[in-house]
Chain A
Amino acid sequence: MAKITPLREAVASLVHDGDTVALEGFTHLIPHAAGHEIIRQGRRDLTLVRMTPDLIYDQLIGMGCAAKLIFSWGGNPGVGSLHRFRDAVEQGWPHRLEIEEHSHAGMANAYVAGASNLPFALLRGYTGSDLPKVNPNIRFVECPFTAEKLAAIPSVRPDVTVIHAQKADRRGNVLLWGILGVQKEAVLAAKRSIVTVEEIVDDLDAPPNACVLPYWALSAVCPVPGGAYPSYAQGYSERDNRFYKAWDPIARSRDGFRAWMQRHVLDTDDFAGFRRVLAESMAQIMKEGA
């Protein structure tokens, strides 16, 4: 049953040390504000799940929140590497990061299986790839009808899924549109869920086939305007490609990264505070770049 609550309270009560947490979003609607709040509250030993870990996962990993990452593509889209992710995998900094690596089709099917209350996902996949050699959670089963060999991987069943959406009504029914990724499946696969939204409205005004997550299937709905930044919410904001580029040099050095996180995330109270401090430093970066 969705409680409309401030993000800080939702994270405090729903995300615990050691949890399996999926902050999903496929370039669009990435829940950056919620990721920051998890970092501020100092969560540890998380198993992070996401098809496309990007900047917010780089930050969670670099700040030592994660023990394990389950993923299928980890990079800074259009820019290059995630330096904190690479440092964790290549050098074990700030500590060793266990990885469980899949393909997008595998992950997407694993979320569907989780939402469907099935123990594993079944797909035609991974044939000829070395991924099954390094991931014991990719196995093959025989079809009982045709004897065909098919890939099987465990369902994704997060303790908590966190997503960002465009809007909710006052009961907590959530509407999202545009590129949806696996957000609906990730919410329905999880025990608990947090949805940050751009705004709370009287009426969702949703057409019949719209992607609506009903209030009774969610744990918390938190108004955080711009909470996907530097990702975007279609109809509300544009992706800030400048920040994705700016992140590359920030994340390259351990000290530079730590100092940046201290100033922008740990020393700010909330996402609005982060945006204010960021606006100052982005103006500086743009001035230096010009």
Chain B
Amino acid sequence: MGSEDFTATEIMTVAASRLLKDGTVCFVGIGLPSTAANLARLTHAPDVVLIYESGPIGAKPTVLPLSIGDGDLALTADTVVGTPEIFRYWLQGGRIDVGFLGAAQVDRFANINTTVIGSYDAPKVRLPGAGGAPEIASQAKEVFIVLKQSPKAFVAKLPFVTSAGHLDGGDARAKAGIPGAGPTAVITDLGILTPDPVTKELTLTGIHPGVTVEQVKAATGWDLKISSGLKTTGIPDAGTLAALRDLHARTAAAHGQVGGEG
């Protein structure tokens, strides 16, 4: 049974978590990706394997980590390895099914910017930078990106490409010799965008209940294409929402908030 009473952030998180299949080996970014991945683990995908770049493999945190190196990640993991091993053996070694990333900005080909707004040498806003994303985006078998949709975040041209999505579209990514399939879904608080099979341009293929196509277009910095088979996201079931809210409540009790990388 579904519940009508949910927030835009909740349906974004639930929609993102649904994409993770049980048994998937997932390289998780902190923040929204970590929330969605842990929700999947606590609901439909108990055997999802969560890998964090700080070293935990098979982490099963009881609360959401505030930082990527929270002690709970290490204590609940199957094993903890050094950071070089994470990137060399597990990511570069080709063992990651899904890279689950956040972003400050994306463009129409799902390239990611987390570096600067404005010019690199004289930035208007200096963002934290790449972290693990460039290699996660290129070497995971596929990539999910989760971020809130707005004209500032969904831009026609990125000031800086930190991590490759589908580059200039079409077969540009394969031609550049990038091994993974790249972003296969961008999940937002308004809907789900997936790359066109040929052009690789992000197309609105899913829309959350109560959201209009005009709203999504207005929140996008380019002329967003709408799929002819546009589907409405199923409303979250009560059990999933309860699991998400419990997770947030436990997290707030443990450290007062949820958050970012580092």
Our verdict on whether A and B bind, yes or no, reads yes
By the criterion CB–CB under 8 Å, are A184 and B126 in contact?
Answer: no
Q: A78-B67, A180-B83 are in contact. List 15 more A-B contacts (CB 8 A).
A: A26-B55, A26-B68, A27-B69, A73-B262, A86-B125, A101-B115, A101-B130, A103-B133, A104-B87, A111-B84, A123-B135, A127-B176, A127-B178, A239-B71, A241-B256
Partner of A75, one of B82, B257, B261: B261
The residue from B56, B82, B126, B260 contacting A185, defined by CB atoms under 8 A apart:
B82
Confirm or deny: A37 has a beta carbon within 8 angstroms of a beta carbon on chain B: no
List residues of chain B with CB within 8 A of the CB of A128: 111, 134, 138, 161, 163-164, 167, 173, 176, 178
Cβ contact within 8 Å between B173 and A104: no
Known: A129-B164, A181-B83, A245-B256. A124 touches B139 (CB 8 A): yes
Give the docked Cα–Cα distance between A238 and B71 (Å): 8
User: Is B2 an interface residue when CB atoms closer than 8 A count as contact?
Assistant: no
Scoring B69, B81, B125 by chain A CB atoms within 10 A of each residue's CB, the highest score goes to B69
Instruction: Spell out A's residues near B (CB within 8 Å).
Output: 26-28, 51-52, 54, 71-82, 85-86, 89-90, 101-105, 108-109, 111-112, 123-131, 134, 148-149, 178-182, 184-185, 232, 234, 238-239, 241-242, 244-245
> B92: shortest Cβ distance to chain A, in Å?
6
Residues of B within 8 A of A (CB): 30, 53-56, 66-71, 73-75, 80-84, 86-88, 91-92, 111, 115, 120-126, 128-135, 138-139, 160-164, 167, 173, 176-179, 255-262
Are the C-beta atoms of A105 and B134 separated by less than 8 Å? yes
Q: Which 8 A-B pairs have the closest CB atoms?
A: A27-B69, A128-B164, A77-B262, A78-B259, A75-B128, A77-B67, A78-B66, A73-B131
15 contacts between A and B (CB under 8 A): A54-B262, A72-B130, A75-B262, A76-B262, A101-B130, A103-B135, A105-B135, A124-B135, A128-B134, A128-B164, A148-B177, A181-B54, A181-B82, A234-B74, A241-B257
Q: Give the residue among B66, B71, B177, B256 with the most A Cβ atoms within 10 A.
A: B71
With known contacts A72-B131, A109-B88, A123-B92, A104–B83 Cβ distance under 8 A: yes
Q: Do B176 and A73 have beta carbons less than 8 Å apart?
A: no
Asked if residues A109 and B87 are in contact (CB atoms below 8 Å), the reply is: yes
Nearest-neighbor residue (CB-CB) of B113 within chain A: A130
CB pair A73 B129 closer than 8 Å: yes
Please measure, in the bound complex, the distance between the C-alpha atom of A245 and the C-alpha atom of B115, giving whole angstroms: 22
In the complex the two chains form, is B91's CB within 8 Å of A105's CB? yes
Asked if A104 and B53 sit within 8 Å, CB to CB, the answer is: yes
Q: Which residues of B contact A73 (CB under 8 A)?
A: 128-131, 261-262
* Residues of chain B contacted by A79 (CB below 8 angstroms): 259-260
Indicate if the CB atoms of B69 and A131 lie closer than 8 Å. no
Q: Please determine whether B129 and A101 come into contact, CB atoms closer than 8 angstroms.
A: yes
From residue A197, how far is it (CB to closest CB) to chain B in Å?
Answer: 18
Q: Determine the main DSSP class of B at the interface with A.
A: loop
Given contacts A77-B262, A78-B258, contact A108 B128 (CB under 8 A): no
In the bound complex, how far is the Cα of B131 from the Cα of A215, in angstroms? 32
Contact of A129 among B69, B70, B134 (CB under 8 A): B134
Q: Which residues of A contact B124 (CB under 8 A)?
A: 90
Q: Nearest residue in B to A235 (C-beta to C-beta)?
A: B71
Q: Which residues of A have CB within 8 Å of B131? A: 52, 72-73, 103-104
Residue on A nearest B164 in the bound complex, by CB? A128
CB–CB B129/A26 < 8 A: no
Tell me, in angstroms, the Cα distance from A263 to B34 when the chains sit together.
Answer: 38
Contacts of B179 in A (CB 8 A): 124
Q: Which of A74, A101, A148, A179 contacts B55 (CB 8 A)?
A: A179
User: A129 to B80, Cβ gap below 8 A?
Assistant: no
Q: Are A181 and B167 in contact (CB under 8 A)?
A: no
Q: What residue in chain A is nearest B135 (Cβ atoms)?
A: A105
Contact residues in A for B260 (Cβ distance below 8 Å): 75-80
Residues A124 and B128 in contact in the complex (CB < 8 Å), given A129-B162, A179-B56, A180-B82: no
Min C-beta distance of B62 to chain A, whole Å: 14
**How many whole Å from A38's CB to the nearest CB in chain B?**
21
Question: A71 — nearest CB in chain B belongs to which residue?
Answer: B129
Q: Which of A74, A76, A127, A131 has the most CB of B within 10 A?
A: A127
Q: Which residues of B contact A125 (CB under 8 A)?
A: 134-135, 138
Bound CA–CA A130/B54 (angstroms): 24
Cα distance A81–B162 in the bound complex, in angstroms: 18
Assess whether B126 is in contact with A90, with CB atoms less than 8 Å apart.
yes
With A and B bound together, what is the CA distance between A26 and B53 in angstroms?
9
A178–B74 Cα distance when bound, in Å, is 6
Contacts of A232 in B (CB 8 A): 71
CB distance from A103 to the nearest CB of B (A): 4
Q: When chains A and B are docked, how far (Å) is the Cα of A3 from the Cα of B218?
A: 64
Q: Which residues of B contact A185 (CB under 8 A)?
A: 82, 84
CA–CA, A124 to B67, complex, Å?
Answer: 26
Min distance, Cβ B176 to any Cβ of chain A, angstroms:
5
- Cβ of A179 and Cβ of B162 under 8 Å apart? no
